[in-house]
Amino acid sequence: MSAAASATAAVRAEANPPFLSMSGISKRYDATQALRDVAFSAESGVVHALVGENGAGKSTLVKIITGAVQADTGQILVNGAPMGIESPLAAQRLGIRVVHQHVSLVPHLSVSENIHLGAMPTRIGGLWIDWRAAHERAERALEAIGFSGIDVRLPVSSLSLGQRKIVEITKACVVRPRILIMDEPSAALSFDERGRLFDLIRQLKSDATSIIYISHDLDEVLEIADRVTVLRDGMIIGTMPAATTDKRQIVEMMVGRVVNDIFPDRHARPGRQEEVLSLKGLSCGARFDDVSFTVAKGEIVGLYGLIGSGRTEVARCIFGADQPTSGEIQLKGRVVRPRSPRDALRAGIAMLTEDRTRDGLVLFLSTCDNISLANFDRTSRYGLIQRRRQRAMVTEKVAELGIRPKNIDQPVRSLSGGNQQKVALAKWLLARVDVLILDEPTWGVDIAAKQDIYEVIRRVAAEGMAILLISSELPEVIGMSDRILVMRRGRLVGEVPRRDATERNLVALAAGSMG
Amino acid sequence: MVSTTQKWWPTRSELRLSWLDLGLIVALVVLVIAGTWFAESFLTQRNFSNLLRQIVANGLVSLGMLIVILTGGIDLSVGSIVALGGVLFAGLTDQIGIGPAILVAMAAGAAVGIVNGTAIARFKLQPFIVTLATMGIVRGIVFIYTETPIVPAHAGFRDLGSSVVGLVSVGMIIMLACYALGWIFLNRTPAGRATVAVGGNEEAVRLAGINVNRTIVLAYTLCGVLSALSGAILVSRLGIAQPSLGVAYELDAIAACVIGGAVLGGGGGGVIGTFLGVLTLGLINNLLNLMGVKSFYQEIVKGSLILLAVLIASRRKR
């Protein structure tokens, strides 16, 4: 840590006076302390990279700088004067612009309308849109940042993901920004486009723009950034000049935490078991490519990767929510092609989705209804629900998972996050499937519920279920899995047996800093 | 802790009325007292018998509308389906008899519902637009079928809407039976639970391995069948089937559902609330008629009531 601290001091000494400087910034969301006493600055003509694991606090910091949320405590200085950034509009007036990780364009409007959104060139005192001028200006703006060749008359919805990203970047640069924040800007870009993006960044830099660059890709960070700040658990771990650091040091700073021992003891698994799920060269367009692996009976296989690495997309294909473009899925040696979640479920594959409130639960319905939803074939006869059977089954699962409250008629909206997640899980446990895919099974769940969920996962695995565990939480992946698969940019880049898995080597694989 | 008896009928907890239901019951009591006070012919057996006959048409349409609203949709074509069911029933009774004529009418309603549901579920079109289109198409078909009112000669034609068993008409008994079946459908069958769940979170239902498209098509089909049945009972009561029957019925049906606590866009509402909504709306109409209030004032009262109901529902949510 002392090395990092002295590095920070060195940076401070050489830097220009910062355009934006923040100190003592803290932010709490309900039970989570998202940021703790953070100091951060953005100097003119400097590319400042922000790195950290998912949930380290990067996006919260960006939201504070862009006025989307307010810090609980702390001070923000702009050009040396204290300033409150109370809204996104206020941030824009200060010249703070963002290229969001997820494209935020209006799909059915044209490229030029999106670039000029809210400031279309007009005639006759704002009564008439000057389309010719709008298109010309949009074309010029694209050229100025080095990306011509997009038809500005086309609706954004007809563009590729990479092209949309370029439009988004153009939009942010059309009024010369003082600070440009780029959140994973290269994720959807081709190699060539990425080169031009870096040219643009260098050009902006020479125009004294301050750039805050967020990326999971450490190669890229070291290539383009002047300085690197590492966030972990809402705290700044260190800031150092990019020239004097390397990937190893950054990864160490990103993960440097002890693995909590909240994982249940594992029983030695009996020798080689039959393969239940097997993927052979599964690909899905640009989302992921040539993914092959197997999961055996009773095995828990972890799937780790940074956001955008394609792990959720693989799971969705297995579960029939999306269709693969090539490759095959085998279940117990038989090829299956699930066209819908319904098909997958019939074949014996279930998936606990990442976001329970978005696509896992019907919030206004009761615990009983939600758990029954995937299990009507077992609880009904002649098209009528057998109430006694249904309630007995649900009640048993509620007791087994320790769901509170025990009253199964309560709407799940009124349950805590942990209990909601248990309800979503109970739905699939009741369905008696062969393969259970868990996508971030303990996201937003408190420690006690986490432990309960871990125990249940272990138990159903011991009973013979094949489990694919997707998680961004390293301790969870390492603590729960028999083997860990790592994905990066849509490809499987490694398989690590449990005994060799460390946070450091997994992050290194996922961020591409190995080999 | 868990009731161990297996029941088709509601358990005590399922019959527990919501605050909105209780509010409606209070409103109904107030309306009855006010009616007794202001209109001397109100509290007569004759008037009540009339009232119970009158609400049947809107009652059946509202039940269908409720099922559609629960999925997060809306059906504007119900008024035209009422007319379709009415003229088919009246036109065919003399040739094929009452029973078969009703079945044909209901089958026609089902056909429109299947078209609506398929366009919405399979082709992902907006319910409002799809049913606005079929509203026009079906009305046109009705006028092609007959431009002049039909008055069947069949002796039993008027029984359905007019003949009385005790205090209630045959139509009322049919309506009550449909409400009971509707309750069982929505609370006791997988298809019904799926219907309610789709309006809350369609993606979660799809990922639970349920056929969402089929669920939506079924909802519009049931709505079509109930609307056609409503039309048949209505013409039986009136003794005449006009092609302009049922115009603007969709508005009264939506009103009854909303007053009864249904949430447009899905996520709330039930058979009991809708029943109370139908009753309230019917009672207000009846009362204002007896008091000789002009129909445009009635519209103002109804409109205000809808606003009030929505306002109460939105307050309660917070």
- What's the pLDDT at A392? 92
Q: What is the mean pLDDT of residues B11-38?
A: 83
Comparing B167 with A288, the larger pLDDT belongs to A288
What distance in Å separates residue A337's CA from the closest CA in chain B?
A: 15
Instruction: Write down the domain spans for chain B.
Output: 40-247
Positive or negative, the CA dihedral A54, A57, A62, A64 is positive
B114 confidence band (pLDDT: 50, 70, 90): very high
Chain B residue numbers with beta carbons less than 8 Å from the beta carbon of A360 are 204, 207
Task: Check whether A219 has a pLDDT greater than 90.
Answer: no
Alpha helices in A33-130 (DSSP H): 58-65, 88-93, 111-115
Comparing A16 with A507, the larger pLDDT belongs to A507
- What's the pLDDT at A270? 55
- What's the pLDDT at B159? 85
Task: Check whether A355 has a pLDDT greater than 70.
Answer: yes
Any idea which residue has 């009550």 for tokens? B176
B239 has a chain A CB within 8 A of its CB:
no
Please report the DSSP string for A259-271 in residue order.
PP--SPP-PPPPS
- What's the pLDDT at B4? 38
Task: Check whether A515 has a pLDDT greater than 50.
Answer: no
Compare all CA atoms of chain A with the CA of B200 and give the residue at the minimum distance: A362
Tell me which residue of A478, A503, A483 sits closest to A494, measured CA to CA. A483
Task: Check whether A7 has a pLDDT greater than 50.
Answer: no
User: What does pLDDT average to over chain B?
Assistant: 89
Question: pLDDT, tens digit, for every residue of B171-205?
Answer: 999 999 999 999 999 988 889 989 999 998 888 88
Task: Check whether A340 has a pLDDT greater than 50.
Answer: yes
- What's the pLDDT at A192? 76
A378 has a chain B CB within 8 A of its CB:
no
Task: Check whether A4 has a pLDDT greater than 60.
Answer: no
- What's the pLDDT at A215? 86
Strand boundaries in A83-206, DSSP class E: 96-99, 122-123, 128-129, 179-183
CA torsion B191-B197-B199-B201 (nearest 10°) is -140
A344 has a chain B CB within 8 A of its CB:
yes
Task: Check whether A267 has a pLDDT greater than 50.
Answer: yes
Chain A residue numbers with beta carbons less than 8 Å from the beta carbon of B3 are 387, 391
Tell me which residue of A21, A59, A63 sits closest to A40, measured CA to CA. A21
A387:B190 CB<8 A: no
Task: Check whether A153 has a pLDDT greater than 50.
Answer: yes
List of long-range contacts for A204-208, beta carbons under 8 Å, 24+ apart: A204/A173, A204/A177, A204/A180, A205/A45, A205/A46, A205/A47, A206/A45, A207/A45, A207/A176, A208/A44, A208/A45
Compare all CA atoms of chain B with the CA of A382 and give the residue at the minimum distance: B189
Query: Mind listing the domains of chain A with CATH numbers?
Result: 1-95+178-259 (3.40.50.300), 105-176 (no CATH), 261-348+433-515 (3.40.50.300), 362-432 (no CATH)
Beta-carbon contacts below 8 Å between A and B: 91
Residue B269 to residues A59, B50, B183, B274, Cα–Cα distance (Å):
39, 28, 11, 8
Comparing A352 with B155, the larger pLDDT belongs to A352
Question: pLDDT, tens digit, for every residue of B198-246?
Answer: 998 888 888 888 899 999 999 999 999 999 999 999 999 999 999 999 9
Compare all CA atoms of chain B with the CA of A408 and give the residue at the minimum distance: B2
Task: Check whether B296 has a pLDDT greater than 50.
Answer: yes
Compare all CA atoms of chain A with the CA of B11 and give the residue at the minimum distance: A387
Tell me which residue of A318, A320, A340, A342 sits closest to A330, measured CA to CA. A318
Chain B residue numbers with beta carbons less than 8 Å from the beta carbon of A373 are 193-194, 197, 204-205, 208, 210
A380 has a chain B CB within 8 A of its CB:
yes
Is the backbone peptide bond immediately before A405 cis, with ω within 30 degrees of 0?
yes
A351:B209 CB<8 A: no
Chain A residue numbers with beta carbons less than 8 Å from the beta carbon of B268 are 364
Task: Check whether A6 has a pLDDT greater than 90.
Answer: no
**What is the C-alpha separation between B270 and B279, in angstroms, rounded?**
14
Mutation pick from A362, A368, A409 vs chain B, by most beta carbons of B within 10 Å, is: A362
The two structure tokens encoding residue B147:
């431009």
Any idea which residue has 């109460």 for tokens? B312
A391:B194 CB<8 A: no
Question: pLDDT, tens digit, for every residue of A190-200?
Answer: 777 888 889 88
CA atoms within 13 A on the CB side of A253: 26
Question: pLDDT, tens digit, for every residue of A426-448?
Answer: 999 998 899 999 998 987 777 67
- What's the pLDDT at A9? 42
- Is-contact A219 A513, C-beta < 8 A? yes
N residues, chain A: 515
Task: Check whether A231 has a pLDDT greater than 80.
Answer: yes
Q: What is the mean pLDDT of residues A21-37?
A: 85
Task: Check whether A271 has a pLDDT greater than 60.
Answer: no
What is the three-class DSSP state of B241?
A: strand
Across the beta sheet with A326-331, the strand order is A288-296, A275-284, A326-331, A334-336
pTM of the model: 0.75
B205 has a chain A CB within 8 A of its CB:
yes
Least confident of A100-104, A285-289, B32-36, B77-81: A100-104
B5 has a chain A CB within 8 A of its CB:
yes
Question: Strand pairing partners for A210?
Answer: A179
- Above pLDDT 90, what percent of chain A? 36
Q: What is the mean pLDDT of residues B245-268?
A: 90
- What's the pLDDT at B5? 43
Question: pLDDT, tens digit, for every residue of B127-164?
Answer: 999 999 999 999 999 999 999 999 988 888 888 887 87
User: What does pLDDT average to over chain A?
Assistant: 85
> Hey, which of A340-344, A368-372, B134-138 has the most confident mean pLDDT?
B134-138
Task: Check whether B14 has a pLDDT greater than 80.
Answer: no
A272 confidence band (pLDDT: 50, 70, 90): low
**What is the C-alpha separation between A262 and A268, in angstroms, rounded?**
18
- What's the pLDDT at A380? 85
A385 has a chain B CB within 8 A of its CB:
yes
Task: Check whether A262 has a pLDDT greater than 70.
Answer: no
Look up the ipTM and state it.
0.78
What distance in Å separates residue A268's CA from the closest CA in chain B?
A: 33
B1:A395 CB<8 A: yes
B3 has a chain A CB within 8 A of its CB:
yes
Tell me which residue of A304, A296, A253 sits closest to A484, measured CA to CA. A304
Q: What is the mean pLDDT of residues B20-41?
A: 86
Closest partner CB to A388 (pick from B5, B203, B210): B5
Task: Check whether B165 has a pLDDT greater than 70.
Answer: yes
B6:A359 CB<8 A: no
Task: Check whether A3 has a pLDDT greater than 60.
Answer: no
